[in-house]
Structure 1
Amino acid sequence: MTRTVLAVGAHIGDMDLTAGPTLAKLVLEGADATIVALTPGERGHPRLPPSEYKKQKIAEGEAFATAIGADFIVLDHSDGFLPDTDDVAAELAAVIREKQPDTLITHWKHSIHRDHEHAASLTERARFLAGLPMEPADGVDGPRHSVRSVLHAENWEDMEGFHPSLYVPIPDEAFYRWVSAIRHQAFARGETYGFRYIDYYTALMTTRGCLAGYPRACAFHTKGTPEITKLAGP
C-alpha cells in the first residue's frame, strides 16, 4: 500500500529541514509526499528586501521538493504575520482533500516563533475541516477526507514540551538525497543569520539514531508510546 504524506510548515524550509530526510526516505520507498509552506518566509534575510527574497525562497523550495521527489505548494500569507483563522485552515483543508494524505507532519504546538505555533494549530483545524461535509460556498472543494495521524517534527525553535515518541530510521540513500537538496537553500547553509542548520540537523539525526539503534533517525512527537517505525508500507 502506498502511503501519502503532507508536511505543513510555516515557512519554506521548515519542513525541508525537519521532515525532509523522512520525506526523502518515504519517496524512495514509493510513497507520495507533498510539502506545503503557509508563507514563503520572505522576511528571513537580513540584507535582501522581502519581495526579492520571496522569489528566491520559492525557487529554493521548488528545487528542494523536486530533488527529493515531492510535490510543493506555497500559500501566499505573510511571513511573521501568519493568521490562525478558519479561512487559512480552509485553504489547507482544500489541499488535504486534494492530496488525500494518510499522515500530516507539522510543527510542535509550542515555539519561540508564533508562525510555527499557528502552523500547528492550522494543521489540526484543517484536518478537522477536511473531514466535514462541505458545500461550494464553504470554500473547501473535493471529497471529504479523514487523516489517520499527525506527527510533530523536531525543530530547535519548537522545543518547549517536545518529547520524542516516534523515531524514523534514515538510511544512507535518503540522508544523502536530503543533504544534496538542502544545501541549495541559502538560509540552511547559514548565509542569512549564521545558524548552521545543516550541521545541526545532521548531528541531531546522529543523536536520535543513537537512541533508536540506527546510524541516523528523525524524531517526532505523536500520541502513544515511544516506538521505532519505517512509517511506510502496509
Structure 2
Amino acid sequence: MTMSKTVIAVGGHIGDMELTAGPTLAKMVLEGARAIIVDCTYGERGHPTLTPTVYREQKLREGKFFADTIGAEFVALDYSDGFLPNDEAVAEQIAQIIREARPDVLITHWLKSMHRDHEYAAQAALRGVFLASIPREEEPLERHTVPSILHAENWEDMEGFEADTFVPIPDEAFELWRTGISEHAFARGETYGFRFIDYYSALMEVKGCLVGHQRACGFKTAGTEKFALAGP
C-alpha cells in the first residue's frame, strides 16, 4: 500500500464506522494514510438515561476522542438520530467531502440493516460517490472517482452480507482501536447491554483464522473490483 492513500468512512451514527471500520482505519493511518470519519447523525437517542441533548454532546466528544486516538479526522453531519433524510442534500455533503479529499477508498454500511439510518447513510455514500464523479459546471472542485468501495461488517447489517475482502489487523492498530472505542458508552455496554467490544474483538479473531492472521476485518466489496489491502 502506498503512503498517499486516503480513506473515508461514512456511518449512520457516531460510533458505527469507529466500531466496524475503525481497526482498518487505524491500520491505514499507521501505514501513512489519511483517514476521515464522516458520521451522518449524532446517534444521540440511544442512551436509556441521558437526554438526547446531553448524549449528543457526549457522542461528539466520544467521536473526536476516537479519531484523535487513531490519528483520523472527524466530521459529524448535522442530522438527528433516527431522522437521517433519504435525499440529495446528504449525498451532496458527502460528495463535497469526496471532491475535497479525493479518497482512494470509501467504507460505509451494508445496504440492508435493521437501522434506517444505516441504510440511508450507505445510500447517501454511494450516491455521493456518483455525484463526486460526474462533471458539474457549477462545482469549482474537480470531479473524483473513488477507486474502491467497501461495506463494513456490522452485526446489525447482516441481511445478504458476505465478506469477500479481509484486512489483517496488526496488534498496534487493534490496541489503538480498542483504546478509542472504549471511550464510547454504547461500546462498553452502557446503553442496552450488548458487548460490542467483546463481539468485534472476537469477530476479528474469527476472520483472522480465515486468512492466516491473528485478527482481520471482513468487508464486502461494492461492484467487481477487489480492494487489495490485505498483506503481511
The change in CA–CA distance for 1:131 and 1:228 in structure 2 (over 3 A counts) is closer
Size of the aligned set, in residue pairs, is 229
Equivalent position amino acid for 2:13 in 1: H
Which aligned segments of 4 or more residues in structure 1 are displaced greater than 6 angstroms?
225-228
Matched, 1:230 2:217: no
Query: Would you say the 8 A contact 1:164–1:226 is kept in 2?
Result: no
Show the counterpart of 1:56: 58
Matched, 1:113 2:115: yes
Q: Return the TM-score normalized by structure 1.
A: 0.94
Show the counterpart of 2:182: 183
Query: Would you say the 8 A contact 1:110–1:117 is kept in 2?
Result: yes
Query: Would you say the 8 A contact 2:8–2:107 is kept in 1?
Result: yes
The answer for unaligned runs of 5 or more in structure 1 is none
SS at match of 1:152: strand
Query: Would you say the 8 A contact 1:169–1:228 is kept in 2?
Result: no
Matched, 1:198 2:197: yes
What is the deviation of 1:31? Answer: 0.6
Query: Would you say the 8 A contact 2:186–2:192 is kept in 1?
Result: yes
SS at match of 1:209: helix
- Report the Cα distance in structure 2 between the residues aligned to 1:92 and 1:228, rounded to whole angstroms: 24
- Report the Cα distance in structure 1 between the residues aligned to 2:140 and 2:106, rounded to whole angstroms: 19
Q: Deviations over 1:70-119 (max 9, x none)?
A: 00000001110111111111011111111110110000001011111111
Show the counterpart of 1:130: 132
Identical aligned residues as a percent? 59
SS at match of 1:206: helix
- Report the Cα distance in structure 2 between the residues aligned to 1:230 and 1:28, rounded to whole angstroms: 14
Show the counterpart of 2:43: 41
Q: Return the TM-score normalized by structure 2.
A: 0.94
Q: Calculate the aligned-residue CA RMSD, in Å.
A: 1.7
Q: Deviations over 1:163-212 (max 9, x none)?
A: 00000000111111111111111111001111110000000000000111
The change in CA–CA distance for 1:95 and 1:229 in structure 2 (over 3 A counts) is closer
Query: Would you say the 8 A contact 1:167–1:212 is kept in 2?
Result: yes
The answer for unaligned runs of 5 or more in structure 2 is none
Show the counterpart of 2:155: 156
What is the deviation of 1:226? Answer: 7.9
